[in-house]
């Protein structure tokens, strides 16, 4: 893709995001065809923000999720600071069409992991983490039928990132907790109860975080100190609508609650 194509592709998607509109597909001449092209388009989304990048999300971290949206593996997306909703503030669903909440483990980086040729190990990545948080992602896509948009378009579309609520910091005991086997429950005030565990995200939240560090490294991008990484939903996404309140119950690691409005 030429630089002007990447810029036009990014502006096409960001215009839909800003305006709360959706599309069936990107124009053929702007459509990326590889993951590398798609990430190059996605990176331009940072220009939508006037603040430093807040962090990263990982989409399609389960086999079921990958099959649902017809992708070959997980995808990284950018969390823009303006799309982070402070804890305790109701989330406005606005033009969101996915209408789901995802209960996730979130890592906050205490050290920068710069790009390098050698892959990062889980221990190296864990040593760079300063804290674990609870979090709820409210994803969305600029595509009307995101299930058939394909991997490249979805990555360009910021891996379905939209809003995110960063919850409380987990107690320090998380470092001695097996996060993969740790149970997480998502509850909606409308009555839905979804059970899950950390292993549902690529086998474990730390595995997912390590994947993200290496995915960025392969693009020449650093996972920077202070950034957060939300590692994917631990249970089946919870349908939400205006008036609903979703609670993520992480047992001994705490709880997070988010209310939704139109």
Helical (H) or strand (E) element with 19: helix 3-19
The number of distinct structural domains making up the chain is 1
The answer as to whether 41 is a domain residue is: no
The answer as to whether 14 is a domain residue is: no
| Averaged pLDDT of the chain | 97
The answer as to whether 8 is a domain residue is: no
d(CA 81, CA 72): 28
d(CA 204, CA 201): 5
d(CA 62, CA 102): 13
Query: Is residue 262 scored above 90 in pLDDT?
Result: no
Tell me the pLDDT tens digit for each residue of 217-251. Answer: 999 999 999 999 999 999 999 999 999 999 999 99
Instruction: Look at the block and give the residue holding tokens 């292993």.
Output: 199
The answer as to whether 112 is a domain residue is: yes
The answer as to whether 15 is a domain residue is: no
Confidence category of residue 26, pLDDT binned at 50, 70, 90: very high
d(CA 151, CA 142): 14
**3-19 and 35-43 helices, crossing angle to 10°:** 60
Tell me the pLDDT tens digit for each residue of 44-95. Answer: 999 999 999 999 999 999 888 899 899 999 999 999 999 999 999 999 999 9
Q: Is 62 left (phi over 0), alpha (psi -120 to 50) or beta?
A: beta
Tell me the pLDDT tens digit for each residue of 114-139. Answer: 999 999 999 999 999 999 999 999 99
The answer as to whether 12 is a domain residue is: no
pLDDT at res. 63: 87
Question: For the whole model, what pTM was predicted?
Answer: 0.97
The answer as to whether 102 is a domain residue is: yes
Tell me the pLDDT tens digit for each residue of 154-185. Answer: 999 999 999 999 999 999 999 999 999 999 99
CATH code of residue 122: 3.90.850.10
Q: What is the CA radius of gyration of the chain?
A: 17
Domain interval for residue 124: 50-140+159-261
């Amino acid at each position: 893709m030429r630089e002007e194509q990447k810029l036009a592709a990014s502006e096409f998607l960001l215009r839909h995001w800003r305006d709360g509109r959706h599309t069936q597909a990107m124009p053929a001449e702007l459509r990326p065809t590889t993951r590398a092209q798609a990430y190059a388009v996605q990176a331009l989304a940072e220009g939508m923000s006037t603040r430093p990048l807040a962090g990263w999300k990982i989409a399609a971290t389960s086999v079921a999720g990958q099959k649902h949206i017809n992708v070959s593996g997980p995808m990284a997306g950018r969390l823009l600071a303006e799309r982070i909703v402070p804890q305790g503030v109701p989330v406005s669903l606005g033009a969101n069409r996915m209408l789901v909440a995802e209960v996730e483990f979130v890592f906050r980086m205490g050290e920068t992991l710069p790009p390098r040729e050698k892959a990062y190990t889980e221990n190296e990545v864990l040593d760079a983490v300063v804290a674990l948080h609870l979090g709820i992602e409210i994803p969305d896509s600029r595509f009307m039928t995101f299930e058939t948009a394909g991997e490249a378009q979805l990555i360009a579309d910021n891996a379905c990132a939209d809003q995110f609520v960063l919850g409380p910091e987990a107690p320090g005991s998380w470092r001695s907790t097996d996060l993969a086997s740790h149970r997480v429950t998502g509850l909606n005030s409308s009555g839905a109860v979804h059970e899950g565990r950390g292993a549902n995200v690529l086998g474990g939240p730390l595995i997912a975080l390590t994947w993200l560090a290496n995915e960025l490294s392969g693009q020449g991008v650093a996972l920077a100190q202070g950034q957060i990484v939300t590692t994917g939903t631990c249970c089946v996404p919870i349908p939400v609508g205006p008036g609903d309140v979703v609670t993520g119950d992480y047992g001994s690691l705490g709880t997070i609650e988010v209310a939704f409005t139109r």
